Amino acid sequence: MFAMNTYISENALMPGSANTMLSGQEVSEANDLVKDLKGLNSKSGSTIFGSQQILAQYISNLGAEVNYHRFQPQSSQFHPLHFFSSPDSGIVQDNVSCMTQGINTVGIIRAPQADGKEAIVLVTPYNPVKTSLHETLSLGIAYSIFSLLTQVSWLAKDIVWLAADSRYGEYAAVSAWLRDYHTPSFGRSNMIDTYTCAETNVLYEFEANHVTEKESLDDFKRAGTMAAALVIKVSNRSEHFEDSLSVYAEASNGQMPNLDLINIVNYLAEHRQGFRIKIEKFWPLLDCKWLKFLGEFFESIGKFIRSLNPEWKFGMLASDYVDGTATLASSLYYQAVGIPTGSHGAFRDYQIDAITVEMSPKFSSGVKVRRDEFILRGGRLIEGVVRSVNNLLEKFHQSFFLYLMVSTSKFVSVGVYMIAFALLVAPLPAVAASLYSYANNSNLTLEKIEPAAPANSDDELIVSLRSWKWLNAAKRVFVVHLWGAVVSLLPYFISQIPGYSPTTNSIIWALLSLLTLLILSVILGSPLSSTKSYEQRIQEWAFLKAMTTSAAFIGLCLMSVINFATAELGAFLVVSMCLLAHPLKLDLVAGNFKALSRAASNLVLGFIAFPPVTFFLFKAALQGFDNLHLGDFWNWMETLWAWNSATFLYLGMVHLPCWVLCTQILLHPC
């Protein structure tokens, strides 16, 4: 309801201000490339490097620079220090041969009237072993615009076309190229020697009229600083009514590109090329009855307010409320997971604005007329985006980098959603201060009840020590958070054991976590041990809750800086647990409705907020209970640490310790 309409902040972009130049000539050339790549798949005895050779020949025919980029496949393995490095810091697989290395084909157009300090990158992932039809179409669209850009005079930035070898994953190919682009290596000690690889000699078998030295093909060529990047993909799903387009922007740990880049793509796609813009939604919410009821409630309030004064614009249609909520939930979810939604995420690790543009045609793949039209419209869309970025005199900076999408034309900025988060966590320090004051006042009350005695230096020392009773609770909080750090590191050692299934790894992780908690409790003082007197037990749970809420407040605020969406979703459970946590024994002794309701709420929250239970409940809501397996939680954790997602650290070092501390408060023997 507080969302803003999207707009172009940077006036220099000027999307759609110039007529498109892409014509049927470039489309015809792109069709020739598509035919050659399709024919390669059907040709018997073709090598896996045939598609790279075809692409290099077509790029060379345009007069552009061409080279191959070789990279070695890397295996993702959990290591604690990888959370503080780039996501591509994997381990090179053993037994790497000439046939298993990936080979990207790179074409570069030098801007005729520029100094070569800036560049725009076009990326088309494809599998060279067996290139599918939708991959050949994405290559055709990229080639059509690349062909056009070799002829234009208005180009102010270099153009780089990266045909990424996605045999080992789209992200891996792009990430390897970016790593070598930004960190030049001198020598080839870490690469397979080209001359010793007889299998790759086919890459250099150009025709006689393509006089290209072998060294120039294998040299790593660079352009300027990347102003923006576009990943071009064609979906293998055909639409029934019209061509559609989806934009994927989420990178690792909730990073987003500048909103202007998304806005110009949406504007050109909808108003210039007639694409239907699709946006990801959290589909289960569209059928929620309670959400529809809320939408109708807000719609009725808006109508009532407008009846009082037509100038007051408040409220929205119920359908818009439901649809916007589903889109907002999807945007929060993909940012909170912390895993990139495409190979564009590799660019954000280098602070380069990048998105994935996925087009879905409405035709059957074999219809040539519709295919030509689709390539033409897709190429003109990319041309318009390139022209807009080409107009920039500096990096994207005018629009937002922190936002949540509500629809293709509405967004929630950081200035709005941070207010909601601040209001959500604001009670935590207030409750901590109140509980600390309550515990100290209780201590003073007990002192007044006791008979007065002559004051001496020993009594003053006892009073001074009593004022530091909160240190015992602080020690408990420290022990549990230290345990959470140990639990986060255990998967590194468990993953070293070969041959175990995800279910077995999950059980080992749980048993080792319990054992570690017991060991730390013995060494540093058991968090479950009771104090000596009844009065001290009454005070102790208040101190413990005060320290727990303080630690939760600090952890959530720190996480909001790293990944806001994770902190927001986690706060819904953590704040509720910390505010409601109260010893069950006291509630059961009280026996009134308020106490019993609080005890029941604490039991429900304690069950739901346990991370594995939360995961399985969420997955069951999406896929049903029939598809649940114990090893799924380990697989999810493995995915998080493979992508260096800060969500993994949040679960292990903030959420899980807070859950354990709140459980201790519930079971406190007061």
The tokens 């003073």 sit on which residue? 444
Report the alpha-carbon distance of residue 97 to residue 200 in Å, rounded: 11
pLDDT grade for 463, boundaries at 50, 70 and 90: very low
Considering the domain architecture, whether residues 68 and 172 belong to the same structural domain is answered as yes
pLDDT grade for 466, boundaries at 50, 70 and 90: low
- pLDDT given at position 292: 93
pLDDT grade for 209, boundaries at 50, 70 and 90: very low
* Closest C-alpha to 65, from 104, 107, 105, 103: 107
Radius of gyration, alpha carbons of the chain: 30
| Pairing of β 244-248 and β 276-278 | parallel
Considering the domain architecture, whether residues 553 and 580 belong to the same structural domain is answered as yes
Considering the domain architecture, whether residues 238 and 291 belong to the same structural domain is answered as no
- Sign for the pseudo-dihedral over CA of 42, 47, 52, 56: negative
**What's the mean pLDDT in 8-13?**
90
pLDDT grade for 243, boundaries at 50, 70 and 90: confident
Q: What is the mean pLDDT of the chain?
A: 84
| Residue 15 lies inside a defined structural domain of this protein | no
| Residue 405 lies inside a defined structural domain of this protein | no
Considering the domain architecture, whether residues 122 and 258 belong to the same structural domain is answered as yes
The domain that holds 354 is classified in CATH as 3.40.630.10
Tokens of 506: 């999950």
Lowest mean pLDDT among 85-94, 362-371, 628-637: 85-94
- pLDDT given at position 267: 94
Residue 126 sits in which domain range? 23-72+100-185+198-210+217-280+341-393
| Residue 83 lies inside a defined structural domain of this protein | no
Paired with 372 in beta bridges are none
Compare 5 and 73 and report the one with higher pLDDT.
Answer: 5
- pLDDT given at position 296: 92
Contact, 114 vs 156, CB < 8 A? yes
| Residue 10 lies inside a defined structural domain of this protein | no
Considering the domain architecture, whether residues 327 and 368 belong to the same structural domain is answered as no
| Residue 484 lies inside a defined structural domain of this protein | yes
| Residue 374 lies inside a defined structural domain of this protein | yes
Considering the domain architecture, whether residues 368 and 465 belong to the same structural domain is answered as no
- pLDDT given at position 349: 87
* Closest C-alpha to 190, from 100, 96, 104, 99: 96
**Domains identified in the chain, total number:** 3
Considering the domain architecture, whether residues 308 and 163 belong to the same structural domain is answered as no
SS (H, E, C) 269-329: HHHCCCCEEECCCCHHHHHCHHHHHHHHHHHHHHHHHHHHCCCCCCCCCHHHHHHHHHHHH
Contact, 10 vs 260, CB < 8 A? yes
pLDDT grade for 76, boundaries at 50, 70 and 90: low
- pLDDT given at position 168: 87
pLDDT grade for 297, boundaries at 50, 70 and 90: very high
Q: What is the pLDDT of residues 213-228, one digit of tens each?
A: 444 566 788 998 999 9
Considering the domain architecture, whether residues 352 and 435 belong to the same structural domain is answered as no
Q: What is the pLDDT of residues 78-125, one digit of tens each?
A: 665 566 555 544 444 545 556 678 899 999 999 988 888 999 999 999
| Pairing of β 158-165 and β 102-109 | antiparallel
Considering the domain architecture, whether residues 275 and 306 belong to the same structural domain is answered as no
